Amino acid sequence: METATETANRRRIGRRVVLGVVIAATIALLLVAYEVNRSPRTDDASVWANYIEIAPEVSGRLVELPVKDNAYVKKGDLLFVIDPRDCEQQYRRSPRSRYSRQGGGVRSRGEIEARYE
């Protein structure tokens, strides 16, 4: 049979092991929480971020998209290029374009670009 001191020593060792496991689990939990907050993953399709919606003034198909997902952009950076053929066809068909070609409206592409700069 075990003596009282052996039983007390086993209990003491057991308590220390349990306390050590609880402390290690708490530290691991805090480290995981810190890492997830520092660099979030989007496996669940959500992320904490600032975002804005953009829309072009004209419709059309995109022919170039130089910005990558989640990239930082600055004012003036090219975000996308719209196929100009659809716009040009609509412009040629409209009655206003005839007026503009006769000298009554905007005369050149340079004037258009200067107008929106």
Do 40 and 66 lie in a common domain? no
Domain annotation covers residue 54:
no
Per-residue pLDDT reduced to its tens digit, 54-94: 777 777 888 888 888 878 888 888 888 888 887 787 777 77
**Number of domains forming the structure of the chain:** 2
What domain range is 22 assigned to? Answer: 1-49
Q: Do 81 and 103 share a domain, yes or no?
A: yes
Domain membership flag for residue 55: no
Tens digits of residue pLDDT in 25-64: 999 999 999 988 888 666 656 556 666 777 777 778 888 8
* Burial class (CB within 10 angstroms; exposed 0-12, middle 13-18, buried 19+) of 22: exposed
Closest CA to 19 of 31, 9, 11: 11
Q: Assess if residue 32 is contained within a domain.
A: yes
